[in-house]
Chains A and B, each alone.
Chain A
Amino acid sequence: MSPTRKPRKPARPTAKQTPRKANGSRRRSQAAPRQYERFHWPQRVAHALLLTSFTLLGITGLPQKYAAADWAQAMIRFFGGIETTRLIHHTSAVVLMLLAVYHTVDIGYKIFVRRVRLTMLPGFKDVKDALQALLYNVGIFKSRPQMGRYTFEEKVEYWALIWGILIMGLTGFMMWNPIATTKILSGEFIPAAKAAHGGEAFLAVMAIVIWHMYGVHFRRFNKAMWTGKQTEEEMLHEHPLELADIKAGLAERPVNPKALRKRRTIYYPIASILALAMLLGIYGFVNGEKTAITTVSPFSTPVVVYVPQTPTPLPTSLPTPTSAAIPGGPLTWDGSIGVLLQSKCGLCHGAALATNGLSFATYADVMKGAQDGKIILPGDAANSKLVQIQQAGGHSVELSSDELALVIQWITANAPEK
């Protein structure tokens, strides 16, 4: 992952052999069963963190890209819903960004202070190596390429990762901070960032599955990133040029302790400022803008639901109430009382129904009374049953007090017909 680290300690002898990969180097590896440190422990820790954050980003990100798919929804449900999924994704992204800051500072130290050989830089030889490997595989070339500290396969992976982190960081920032982004760029950049983020994610995961997993898991389970060590045989097999350099004492450039100290005093303050700036950048990334309000229901002012139309339409067309009007004719049956009593009482006590034998249809009918006797005693309103029932209240239909007064007046006047 980074340029050459350390002088390899002339490692302790080990009995461990790798007969599985037996090849031309067997004789020599038996002669010198040595181990070489390939990755110093901070690199291994960084790799473990990278592995964790990358995996989390992948498994929480791809379901968001393919949110319509059943498998994606099952995964999101497993993480505890989309909001938790996003939280895990964002947290992992922050871890990855911190890792990138660490790596930048670390690389700076190696380049400017230790002045190590830049073994991770790609060169023309890597193109040649790749071509030779391919031609060897298809049987045109007779031998595999001989490679140094980092093979072309490892370089592809490292630089793909750098490219990926830059793209993902940039597009991730745009999606995380769309308001800040659109202050400078056009709005279209947000969906474009999303498209790039998704495309790059798919590419990265596929590359890890195909390139990385095949290269270090399936072809040969390479434990160097965990143990930090490789045997001489493994070195000879995979990094023969580096092994040769080590043996020739060329892998490590000589360091002048005085110059080293001087360079450190320059680099440390610069690196501190740089690191601080980058950390502030990450803080801004995460907390830079308040994209949206967080209240749940901001949209509409509450709707008043029940606003009945006035007047509320009645089930049937409302008749014009006429019964309230007291006929204004003379105080006789024909003049006013007949019309009044027929309209008020005639429904039940009319020619058709004549409830209880009582009908208000004609003057004669009224004066005849009901089955159980007369209802009107001319001149004696108080004892007339009509008046008694109406005064008692509770009858199906009740005369208004004005109407009743009129009827009492009429009876008192001997209830004249004409």
Chain B
Amino acid sequence: MSKDKSVFFLKVLVFALGIGLLTLALAGMAQPAAAVTPPVAQPGLTIHQAADNDACLSCHNKPDLTRSLPSGELLVLTIDKNHFSDSVHKGLNCTDCHTTITSFPHPDPKAQNLRDVSLQFYTICKTCHEKQYNLTLDSVHQKALAAGNTNAAICTDCHNPHTQTQLTDSAGHVLPEARVSIPTVCARCHSTIYDQYKNSVHGSALIGNGNPDVPTCIDCHGVHSIEDPTTAAFKLKSPQICAKCHTDPAIMSKYSISTQVLNTYVADFHGTTVTLFEKTSPDQATNKPVCFDCHGVHNIKRVDDPVYGLEMKQNLLKVCQRCHPDASANFPAAWMSHYIPSPTHDSLVYYVNLFYKIFIPTVIGGMAIFVISDIVRRLIDRRKGAKHA
């Protein structure tokens, strides 16, 4: 190799290295802020470490690979290779999660029943999804589990690790198709609630049309750190949940729904009380209604629904009578139905307000004129040394 040639070769090498480093750096920057901490190689693996998943799948792709558990239940050990390769976990090794499998034959699972299997495994999700896992620790599900209810949902009940597809985009927003599928996930355990939801104004729009504006389960209940929705504290802050969308003109204008629903609620006796409780004693139990007490929880209907709609006075009266058993037909109009008083709606209230808008400045202004003129006169008299008559 001549000197020229070797210099040229070095230059090319340096250039290539530079390009390579730059690409790496850019790739690193372009990587979305993933919710996932990349898996670390598990120490102690001998046989399957770095082995391709084909070794596992050579057995586990068999369609009837099962094992009976002491409970008599059948543990299905078949992994659908196609589903797995479509999942977000396709890049992982089986043994990244199945850390106890270090040799063949595999050690006996100590699970007594199918639920045991999941319960023994799900904490492994924490390895990569620590943030989400930690959020679940405060959830109603984890609290139920800690209290001994093994039916309570754990990671794998909602996210089958072998088939889970991508749920969020790079910005962390839930993908449209994922939003639609969320209620069916919750429905696995909360099927009666799902039945109510799917017929509600929100659920029917989501399930029927994939409407991106309507809330799916997690929009109200949150995800991972799902809170107990039966507490007094949840009730007190629940109007803010509804208000997230119902005070947003961008969404509400599409459906000609007023964005004043929160303001008008808070301005009324019920809403004022609830708001004050939330501010001053957030755990205070109250029988003052919040949004869902009148509109429904999961079975929310349109206000002009012919059977349940609150626009019909007789429907509203029934709702009022739940707490005001003696209420008569006139009573529901005491609530202004989220309208702001105007000459056409609740005109009496509008004109009372108008009266005071004029009356107060007139009276107070008149008094102020007297008082100010009196002060000025007295100051002038005092300066002059004059004496008041």
Contacts and interface: CB of A to CB of B under 8 A. Distances in A.
Given A214-B371, A319-B63, A195 B356 contact: yes
A192 B348 contact: yes
Contact of B359 (A136, A203, A237, A318): A203
Contacts of B156: 315
Contacts of A289: 326
8 contacts: A133-B374, A186-B333, A207-B364, A305-B190, A309-B187, A309-B191, A316-B160, A319-B65
B277 interface: yes
A308 B276 contact: no
Interface of B: 58-59, 62-67, 74, 76, 78-80, 83, 104-106, 108, 151, 156, 160, 162-163, 187-193, 266, 268-269, 272-273, 275-277, 279-281, 284-287, 289, 293, 297, 322-328, 330-336, 341, 346, 348-349, 352-353, 355-356, 359-360, 363-364, 367-371, 373-374, 376-378, 380, 387-389
Contacts of B328: 179, 182-183
Contacts of B280: 73, 76-77, 81-82
Interface residues of A, number: 87
Q: Which 8 pairs between the two chains have the least Cβ-Cβ distance?
A: A187-B333, A199-B356, A137-B373, A190-B334, A182-B330, A187-B334, A137-B377, A82-B276
A291 interface: yes
B374 A210 contact: no
A144 interface: yes
A309 B376 CA distance: 83
A396 B80 CA distance: 22
Contacts of B349: 188, 191-192, 195
Contacts of A188: 333-334, 336, 346, 348-349
A144 B389 contact: yes
A256 interface: no
Contacts of A309: 187-189, 191
B344 to A, nearest CB: 13
A21 B388 contact: yes
A30 interface: no
Contacts of A195: 341, 349, 352-353, 356
B64 A207 contact: no
A399 to B, nearest CB: 12
B277 A316 contact: no
Main secondary structure of the interface of A (DSSP, over half): loop
Contacts of A15: none
B325 to A, nearest CB: 7
A252 B289 CA distance: 61
A107 interface: no
A299 B371 contact: no
A300 interface: yes
A195 B360 CA distance: 13
A293 B293 CA distance: 15
Contacts of B364: 203, 206-207, 210
A37 interface: no
Nearest to B79: A316
A322 B63 CA distance: 10
A90 to B, nearest CB: 14
B276 A292 contact: no
Contact of B287 (A200, A297, A304): A297
A308 B287 contact: no
Interface in A93-121: none
Nearest to A137: B373
A185 interface: yes
A237 B389 CA distance: 8
Contacts of B373: 134, 137-138
B371 A211 contact: yes
Contacts of A322: 64
Interface string A134-145: 101111000110
A374 B112 CA distance: 34
Interface centre among A175, A210, A293, A348 (most CB of B within 10 A): A210
A416 interface: no
A307 B353 contact: no
Interface of A: 21-24, 64, 67-68, 73, 76-77, 81-82, 130, 133-134, 136-139, 143-144, 175, 178-179, 182-183, 185-192, 194-196, 199-200, 202-203, 206-207, 210-211, 214, 219, 237, 289-300, 303-309, 312-323, 343, 347-348, 352-353, 355, 396-397
Contact of B285 (A186, A297, A348): A297
Contacts of B341: 191, 195
Given A137-B377, A179-B331, A306 B190 contact: yes
Contact of A73 (B279, B286, B355): B279
Contact of B360 (A182, A185, A203): A203
Contacts of A307: 189-193
A67 B288 CA distance: 16
A210 B191 contact: no
B332 A296 contact: no
Nearest to A295: B287
B352 A73 contact: no
A402 to B, nearest CB: 15
B362 to A, nearest CB: 10
A210 B190 CA distance: 62
Interface centre among B333, B334, B356, B380 (most CB of A within 10 A): B334
Given A179-B324, A312-B188, 10 more contacts: A67-B266, A186-B330, A188-B349, A202-B356, A294-B287, A297-B287, A308-B188, A315-B156, A347-B65, A396-B106
Nearest to A210: B367
Given A195-B352, A307-B190, A312-B188, A67 B163 contact: no
Given A77-B280, A143-B389, A319 B76 contact: yes
B64 A321 contact: yes
Contact of A199 (B275, B360, B380): B360
Nearest to B274: A82
A298 B389 contact: no
A210 B66 contact: no
Contacts of B370: 130, 133-134, 137
A101 to B, nearest CB: 27
Contacts of A303: 192-193, 297
A305 B51 CA distance: 44
Contacts of B105: 348, 355, 396
Nearest to B371: A214
Contact of B59 (A144, A305, A318, A347): A347
